[in-house]
Amino acid sequence: SAMAWRFNSLLLLLLSLGMFRLEASCPEPAMTARGCQAKDRRGRIMENHEFESFYKQGIVPEGEFKDFIACLKTLLPVTFRISRPSSHSFVQRQIEQLARELDHSCSNRSQGGGGEEVPSLRFIDWYQGPGGSAWQLPASVRVSSESSEASKLKLQLDVLASLGLIEYQEAVSMIPVPLLAIRPADDVLDLCASPGSKTRQILHAIGEGEGIVVANDVNAKRCSTMIHQLRACGARSCIVTNHDARRFPPLFIAGEEGGNRSLRQLKFDRILCDVPCSGDGTMRKAPKIWQTWSVRTSASMHGLQLQIARRGSQLLKPGGLLSYSTCSMNPLEDEAVVAALLRESNG
């Protein structure tokens, strides 16, 4: 097809120009000898006694704690989702072909008795989100040599991403939007939208429907970046606003009632509150958090998070849905915020 020809031609052009090179986007944890401290590739120590003491207080079961800490010191896999519903069939075929080629290459290497490990490209079967399917690669592709099978695969995926056909996004980050069960006619508010990956998921769910998406962020520079990204993906029903989410102002829509012009406040069918947090759930991609995390910093986020969730609930239509999420594992930032909001509103 014309699209397949375009993809293959662009891939050859980029290869010839050397425009895509694989780089390690996340430091690889490197365990030293037994009894020594674990460090990432930049030499930062991946330990925090205050963090470990906090999570040992019945938050993480004692029998799982060792595995919990070990997991936090490993690289995240590379995950992505198909980002354009209109191109889903084409992109799905491209990715499935890549997966078959990798499986065939892996089989040949096994029969040949060793050699370089070939990465596997696997379908994320639990993801049923807007736009289509999601896929996963092992973390090893982040640190592979440029001549490796992993590097060649990453190159082909980078081309698809440059065309806007796939979007790299952490698997856990894909969860909140599908939970909202967004319909084409829904009006949706993303209160803390930057960097915009979830906003784009929302837009894919709206599709060609009549719903409006309002993407808000407190940082003007991030809003500007988000505008350019949303424009590039062809967003037509999206408004970007720059407000403190705790005090997000009421929005009004002009209309007519009884032959007279009138204003009505816009309430939302769906609201996403992906709030600022301590980020300890991102240690696998941001090892520096091992050095900066403290109980005080984490606990200090609770008030801000509750205020944002409270404002979101005030802007929600009766019968609407609000999704509250963080990048933290701390119950003070998660369950305690939801519990406080329910207690304030009498459940």
Architecture of domain 16-75+175-345: 3-Layer(aba) Sandwich (3.40)
181-236 tens-digit pLDDT? 999 999 999 999 999 999 999 998 998 889 999 999 999 999 999 998 888 777 77
Residue 125 burial class via C-beta count within 10 angstroms: exposed 0-12, middle 13-18, buried 19 and up: exposed
What's the whole-model pTM score? Answer: 0.82
Annotated binding site: 217, 244, 274
* Antiparallel, parallel or unpaired: β 316-325 and 260-265: unpaired
End-to-end CA distance of the chain: 55
Annotated binding site for S-adenosyl-L-methionine: 217, 244, 274
The pLDDT, as a whole number, for residue 116 is 54
Residues 84, 166: Cα–Cα separation, whole Å: 7
96-148 tens-digit pLDDT? 888 787 777 666 655 555 555 556 788 899 998 776 789 998 887 766 655 56
The pLDDT, as a whole number, for residue 145 is 57
pLDDT greater at residue 328 or residue 82: 328
Residue span(s) of the chain under CATH 3.40.50.150 come to: 16-75+175-345
156-166 tens-digit pLDDT? 888 888 888 88
Residues 29, 38: Cα–Cα separation, whole Å: 7
Q: Dihedral sign, CA of 48, 54, 59, 64?
A: positive
Residues 121, 99: Cα–Cα separation, whole Å: 5
Residues 156, 151: Cα–Cα separation, whole Å: 9
pLDDT greater than 60 at residue 14: no
262-312 tens-digit pLDDT? 898 999 999 999 999 999 999 999 999 999 999 999 999 999 999 999 999
Confidence category of residue 243, pLDDT binned at 50, 70, 90: very high
Of 192, 223, 277, 327, the catalytic one is 327
The pLDDT, as a whole number, for residue 107 is 62
The pLDDT, as a whole number, for residue 57 is 94
3-state SS track over 70-124 = HHHCCCCCEEEEECCHHHHHHHHHHHHHHHHHHHHHHHHHHHHCCCCCCCCCEEC
pLDDT greater than 90 at residue 36: no
How wide is the angle at C-alpha 244 spanned by C-alphas 241 and 250, nearest 5°?
65
Q: Is 26 a catalytic residue?
A: no
